[in-house]
Every structure is written in C-alpha cells, then in structure tokens.
Structure 1
Amino acid sequence: ATATANELITVTAVDDPIVAINDGLITVDGINGALEFINVLDNDSLYGLPINSSDVVISYPTSPYFEFNSDGTVNVKPNTPGGNYAFTYQVCEKANPSNCGSAILNVFVEVPAIAIIKTATFNDIDNSGFANAGETITYNFKVTNTGNVPLSGIMITDLLPGIVVSGQPISLAVNESDEHTFSAVYTILQSDINNKSVTNQAIVKGSSSAKGVVVEDKSDYLNNLEDNPTVTALEGCLIKVFNAVSPNGDGDNDKFYIRGIECYPDNTVEIYNRWGVLVFEKDHYDNISNTFKGISEGRTTIKTSEGLPVGTYFYILKYKDSDAKQHESSGYLYLSN
C-alpha cells in the first residue's frame, strides 16, 4: 500500500491600503498658468502597485485658481496670485470605498515682476542756464525686482533715437534694487529745444530663474507703480542778444550771438552803422553759417565782405514764432578788435 500525505496550505489575503504620499514643493507659473503640471497619483500606490485613475475616486478641495481633474492631474490658471498653496486630497478605492488615503499637494506659484524708475539731469555745459544744441541729458535708472522669485538677464532698452545706454546684464534677488549699473546719455538737438522738452521712456526686461518667465516694465519718472514717460523741460528759445562782437579769432565774442534764434528760423537781422547805412542783412540767421562776424554784407558804399571799422552799430531783429506772430527787437551793437 502506498501512503499519501495531504498538506493543508492556508493563503491569507493581504488588504494593502491605499498609500498616498505628499507632493511638492512644485513651482508653477502664475502669470501664464500651466496645464497638468502634476499628477498627484504618480507617487501613490494601491496594493503596492501604481494607481490606475479608473480604479479610484479622488476628492479635492475647491480653489478659484486651481483645477483638479479626475485623472489626478492639476492645472493652475493664468494670473494666479503668487505664494505657497497647500491642498489636502483623498484617494479612495472604487471597489472598496473604505480603503482611502490622504496626502497634501504643496505648490509654489511664482509671479515674477520688475519695475524701473528713470530720472534725467540736464547738463548745462556752458553754464548759461539755457539749453543749447549739443549739450546733453544724463539718465539714471533704478531697477527693482518686485516679484517673488529671483530674476536674471536683466537689461534696459531705450528707443529714443541717438540715446546711448550703458550697462551689462544683471541679476536681482527678490526685493533687490540696482541704481548704479545702467545709465544713458542723450545729445540735445535743436528740434528738441524748439519743442521745449525731451520725452522718452525706457523698457526693462528680465526672466525668472526657475521657470524662465520673461517680464518687463516701462519706466516711470517717479515710482514703481506708474508708467509715465520722463520729460525733461528745455528752456532755450528765449531770445537774448549778446551785443558785443570782437572778431579777432580768440573764440570769445567772435560773432554776433543771438541766443534762442535757432527756434525761430523765419527771421531777419539788419545791422546799421552810425549814419543809418545798412551794412549787414541776413535772413534765417542761425548763429552758425548765417551770422555776423564784423564783415559788411549789406547794400552799401562799403565794399562787400570788407571788415567793418570798430564802433557802435544798431541792429534790428525780426522773427516769427510758431504761431506766425511777428516779433521785433532792436538795440546797439559794439564792434571791437
């Protein structure tokens, strides 16, 4: 006879619970938003295996800025305020609703921002108290990181024709400011003086170190909250006659200088000697090419282009302003060697 041994094998089912693990800290773009920036189920498990979203039900909190999807993915909406967010969610097995696990999703919403203040200084090179073509305006810039993440690659551009901007790219920590790296110089044109001001605006750009979001700001002349252009007033159109002329080539009073005449190109200058003879007459007097240097250029008995004798002369200046209003001034002119 053959003996048979029967062994009784007992199998105990192990009901592994859902294991939910906290998620984060996840950085997201609060300016542009992001779709499915995470799946909260990716690090959770059911019976020791990755969770299939069709096998569970996920319960989320409500939020005006975040969208929680049934498959475990999460979206952040554009223009979400910056800061830290924590959301507790629960995962339950459909086949066994009492088999649940909870975890926390931690999110940091980055909202990079930048601001620039632009100030101007008129450089009165000749200390006349008035603006002249060729003098300059120096601009200084204060750049501030007003967002909640560090910024890098910060640069300034200025579209004013002729302006020269100096400065290399910089980085700024949160709330950090820089007012020494960037500057600019602009050479004043006669057209600027005619317009009585120079108006312009700079733009600063930088990108967030984490997500590479590019932000920019237009300059304000006073604070970080506004975007008002910087206006530099120029006083250079007030007529003033300098009535001493000594054309000896020493660079001092070599010509009859009428400050501000460039603003009124529709003009005529007449100069008479003491006998009332017209010795000089010129339209469009400009202090440069059309100017009196003690040479006779009038319809007189004095030889044309001949040097006039030392003495007292009389000038008449006539000009029209931008409204075509006629103006006239006159006085004595003193010619010496």
Structure 2
Amino acid sequence: MYQIPLLGGDITGPVNGDTNDDGLLNVSEIWVYNASYVITQADMDNGQVSNLATTTGEDPNGMVTTNTSTDPTPCVTCNVDPTCMACTLTELPTSNVDIALLKSVDMNLARVGDELNFTITATNNGIGEASNVSITEMLPNGYEYIAHSTTGGVYDEMTSLWNIETLSAGQSEELRVRVFTIEGNDYLNIVRLVDVDQTDTDSSNDEASAEVQIDEPICLINIYNVLTPNGDGAHDFFQIACIENYPDNRLEIYNRWGIKVYEKEGYNNTWTGVSDGRATYERNEELPVGTYYYILDLGDGTKSRVGYLYLTR
C-alpha cells in the first residue's frame, strides 16, 4: 500500500515495476507511482509545499512494515508541516499580483449633449489572489455622471472609488459608467489603481485612459453647485460654464436667512466664498460653511437661473 498525504492530490500507479503482474512487490522489483497536486492560495501564502510519502505493507510472515520517505537535503525551515524536515519541500514564488487596467469608450467623437459609456476592466495578471483592490474613476469636468453598473465590486460615484474585495489570479471585473457630455475643456477620462493589499509587480498597467473629441462644441450654461475654496485646484471658485458668452450677466448670492452676501455684474468665475460687504459680514470676510441661494440673470432676456450651492472648506 502506498500513500501520499497531499490534500486534493491524485495518485496513479504503479506505472511500471510489477513485472509478473502478481500484485506483489517481489525481490528486485521497483514500483513507480505518479502523484499530482494542485497548488492552492494557502500554499502560495505559505510559500511552500511539502511532499511526504509513506509505504505500508506485509512481509511474507504477515508482519506489517512501514517506511517514510526522506530528503537527502532537508529544509532548514518549514511553514507547512512540522514533519517536512524529512521530506521534499517545494519553495513557491511569493504570492504577488498584477492589477492591469483597460479603459474604452463607445464614442470617440461626440457633441455636447451626447451620452457616452465608459468601460473599465480590471484584471489580475499575477499568480496570487488580490484583496481590497481600490481603483479611482473620477470624471473630469467635461462629463456629468448618469449611472453605472459592475460585474463585481462596488463603485461609489460620490468618492469616485471602485472597490473590489478579491480578484483571483486571471480574474477580470468590469465597471461601466454612463455619462452626459457638457461644456468643458477636459474630455480625457483617466482610471488609476489606488491600493491593493499585495505587492503589485507591474506599475506600468496601473493606469488607463479614454479620450473623446468634441465635434462642433456648443457652449451650454452649466452651474457647478459645490464651492470648496481650499486651494487644491478643484472647485476653488464658484464656476459657471460658458458664462464668458454672457458679458451682461448679473449674479446675486444670498445666505439661508435671505441676506445678500455677494453680487456681481459681468461675473467671470472669480468668487471664492468671500463677502463683498453686506449688512451681516465685513467686506473680504470668509463666509461660513453652509448652503446658499443664487440668482443668475444672463442678461439676454431669458428667465433667470436660480438654485442652491454648497460652500465648504
């Protein structure tokens, strides 16, 4: 009887050696067996696999005899089996991962007002399982979010993060984002790998992009209702897209109690949340964080645009 204690392994044999096919291991006979084993993620994490062979049989007198394999060069350390100091130990490569990103868009030439669909694919080209994969897919100013879907993981359109709990070796997942093209000068959409628990072996494929050319762009008024004047380069000014095409415009901003805190004729995207000297606040004083109400008259005879904006620092 021949046993190999390999969990999930298969053994076949004897392949050869039983010269007279009597099922007995006769003197001078050498029986050969083959064993196979599929490497698991736990093996990869340990970095080792041990192979311990044991033979059990009866001699001509009916006495049970047992023998265990040995390794002529036993390992010094073992993370797998306390008995593997006497057996063959296979060292495995480190359980590294390689997260590769691809990005495509269904239209490379579009007009303002068109809907586009971006597809982002994340593939683990490594040999180990990746965990806590975090990918950023932040829409630039030229696009407005509509909806999304994923084959795996969770995408948060507010934080622009796509989080995948696990990504096995060779596994791929997709994120699809549907957007609306608006006035803007940034139509290059870039996706980046932010974090993964394991070592990413190839940083050259951690970023991908898709660019759309705007054919005969039409400038549409678009009011960004978030103002964060903290100097990070994003929403530092109260921005109104295409306002430069309406030089006779007039902008008024009120706080939650109806007090006017800012007004400007010919507004050109320069307000940073500072009072211009009304009854409640000193001139050039920073206004407190909160919700404000705006009235925008484009000066072209059309109905005034009204709405709310949120100021935070």
Structures share fold, TM-score greater than 0.5: no
Query: What is the TM-score of this pair, normalised by structure 2?
Result: 0.37
**Which structure is larger by alpha-carbon Rg, 1 or 2?**
1
